[in-house]
Homo-oligomer: A and B are copies of this chain.
Amino acid sequence: MNYKRKVLIIGAGRSTSSLIKYLLNKSEVEKLHLIIGDKSIDTAKKLILKHPNATAIALDIFDIELRRKTIKDADIVISMLPASFHIEIVKDCIKFGKSLVTASYVSDEMMALDKEVKEKGLVFMNEIGLDPGIDHMSAMQVIDRIRDKGGELLLFESFTGGLVAPESDDNLWNYKFTWNPRNVVVAGQGSAAKFIQEGKFKYIPYHKLFRRSEILHIDGYGKFEAIPNRDSLKYRDAYKLHDVLTLYRGTIRRVGFSRAWNIFVQLGMTDDTYVLEDSENMSYRDFTNSFLNYRPYDSVELKLRSYLDIDQDDILWEKLEELDIFNPDKKMGIKNGTPAQLLQKILMDKWTLKEKDKDMIVMLHKFGYKLNGEKKQIESSTVVIGDDQICTAMAKTVGLPVAIATLKILNGEITSPGIQIPISKEVYEPILKELAEIGIRFTEKEVPYLGYNSEQING
Question: Which residues of A approach B to under 8 Å, CB–CB?
Answer: 190-192, 194, 197-198, 200-208, 212, 266-268, 271, 273-274, 276-278, 289-294, 296-297, 339, 452, 457
**Complex A-B: 14 CB contacts under 8 Å:** A190-B273, A191-B271, A191-B274, A192-B268, A198-B294, A198-B296, A201-B276, A202-B292, A202-B294, A203-B268, A205-B266, A206-B207, A208-B268, A294-B452
How far apart sit A296 and B289, CA to CA, in the bound complex (Å)?
42
* Contact call A203/B276, Cβ cutoff below 8 A: yes
* Contact call A271/B205, Cβ cutoff below 8 A: yes
How far apart sit A198 and B297, CA to CA, in the bound complex (Å)?
13
* Contact call A294/B200, Cβ cutoff below 8 A: yes
Number of copies: 2
How far apart sit A267 and B211, CA to CA, in the bound complex (Å)?
12
* Contact call B277/A201, Cβ cutoff below 8 A: yes
How far apart sit A271 and B203, CA to CA, in the bound complex (Å)?
11
Chain B residues with Cβ below 8 Å from A276 are 201, 203
How far apart sit A266 and B203, CA to CA, in the bound complex (Å)?
12
Chain B residues with Cβ below 8 Å from A204 are 268, 291
- Smallest CB-CB separation from A205: which chain B residue? B268
* Contact call A212/B293, Cβ cutoff below 8 A: yes
- Smallest CB-CB separation from A270: which chain B residue? B205
- Smallest CB-CB separation from A289: which chain B residue? B200
Q: A191-B274, A273-B191, A276-B203 are in contact. Are A208 and B294 (CB under 8 A)?
A: no
How far apart sit A206 and B204, CA to CA, in the bound complex (Å)?
15
How far apart sit A202 and B190, CA to CA, in the bound complex (Å)?
23
* Contact call A291/B191, Cβ cutoff below 8 A: no
Q: How many whole Å from A308's CB to the nearest CB in chain B?
A: 10
Chain B residues with Cβ below 8 Å from A206 are 207
Q: How many whole Å from A227's CB to the nearest CB in chain B?
A: 14
Most interface-central of A192, A266, A273 (chain B CB within 10 A) = A192
How far apart sit A291 and B209, CA to CA, in the bound complex (Å)?
11
Chain B residues with Cβ below 8 Å from A278 are 201
**Choice from B192, B207, B296 contacting A274 with Cβ under 8 Å:** B192
Chain B residues with Cβ below 8 Å from A271 are 191-192, 205
Most interface-central of A208, A267, A452 (chain B CB within 10 A) = A208
